[in-house]
């Protein structure tokens, strides 16, 4: 039991490197001790397996962190709760793009219109573009969860995608009928 505890603790401790040993910070800098080691604040947030090893979406939704939206005055966030399915993904499962998780952090202008047009399917790009740091890869693989997490984006199997699309088409037809 004790051994298990020690093992878990060392596994946890090794999630984040000390600044002095991270290969980036100059260990001879006298001010280094004033900087915070990532373990101090990241280890108390909801865990994840990659990136900063923090589930940032959950941390925000749980209120574990309360990042400001504005430095001049606290403006209301513009949150959009709209999922977009991005098709043409060949044999890979279809991509579901959730606006909600994104607009909790970002402004529309961070993506529209220079990365993506505001019309489903209007922007053409491939996985290779993403891997080269364009489109979704502007953030994913740099700051947001890395591109190794295929199934977080490729999360909808084709049958379910067909069903969702049919439902959306019916809903639209009904809405048009009402007009």
Partner 1 sequence: MRLQRVARFLILCLIVMSSGIAWQANAEYADVVLNQKSEKEGVRPVIFPHWFHRIRFKCKVCHAELGFKMRVGSNHISMENITAGEFCGACHNGDVAWSADECDLCHSGKPGLKTGIRGGHETMGPGIW
Task: Rule CB under 6 A: choose which of 39, 125, 160, 164 binds ligand HEC.
Answer: 125
Task: Rule CB under 8 A: choose which of 8, 62, 123, 132 binds partner 1.
Answer: 132
Q: What are phi and psi of 98, to 5 degrees?
A: -90, 115
Q: What span, in angstroms and rounded, lies between the C-alpha atoms of 91 and 16?
A: 36
Helix (H) or strand (E) holding 95: strand 95-98
Q: Minimal CA–CA distance to 160: which of 71, 85, 91? A: 85
Partner from ligand HEC, partner 1, none binding residue 24, C-beta < 5-8 Å depending on class:
partner 1
Task: Rule CB under 6 A: choose which of 16, 45, 59, 127 binds ligand HEC.
Answer: 127
Task: Rule CB under 8 A: choose which of 46, 47, 51, 98 binds partner 1.
Answer: 51
Report the site for ligand HEC in 46-85 (rule: CB under 6 A). Answer: 51, 56-57, 71, 78, 80, 84
User: Around Cβ 143, how many Cβ atoms within 10 Å?
Assistant: 12
Which burial class, exposed, middle or buried, applies to 73 when counting CB atoms under 10 A from its CB (0-12, 13-18, 19+)?
Answer: exposed
Q: What span, in angstroms and rounded, lies between the C-alpha atoms of 55 and 43?
A: 11
**Region near partner 1 per CB under 8 A, out of 4-12, 31-39, 80-88, 169-177:** 31-39
Token pair 């000390």: residue: 18
Residues that bind ligand HEC (CB under 6 A): 35-36, 51, 56-57, 71, 78, 80, 84, 86, 88-90, 92, 95, 97-99, 101-103, 105-106, 108, 110-112, 115-116, 118-123, 125-128, 130, 133, 135-136, 138-140, 142-145, 147-150, 152-154
């Amino acid at each position: 039991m004790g051994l298990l505890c020690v093992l878990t603790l060392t596994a946890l401790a090794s999630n984040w490197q000390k600044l002095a040993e991270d290969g980036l910070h100059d260990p001879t800098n006298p001010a280094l001790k004033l900087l915070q080691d990532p373990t101090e604040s990241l280890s108390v947030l909801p865990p994840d397996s990659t990136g900063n090893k923090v589930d940032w979406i959950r941390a925000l939704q749980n209120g574990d962190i309360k990042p400001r939206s504005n430095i001049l005055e606290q403006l209301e966030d513009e949150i959009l709760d709209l999922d977009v399915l991005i098709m043409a993904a060949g044999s890979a499962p279809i991509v579901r793009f959730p606006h909600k998780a994104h607009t909790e952090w970002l402004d529309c202008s961070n993506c529209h219109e220079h990365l993506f047009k505001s019309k489903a399917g209007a922007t053409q790009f491939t996985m290779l573009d993403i891997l080269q740091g364009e489109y979704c890869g502007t953030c994913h693989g740099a700051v947001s969860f890395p591109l190794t997490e295929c199934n977080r984006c490729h999360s909808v199997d084709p049958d379910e995608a067909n069903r969702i699309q049919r439902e959306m088409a019916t809903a639209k037809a009904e809405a048009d009928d009402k007009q």
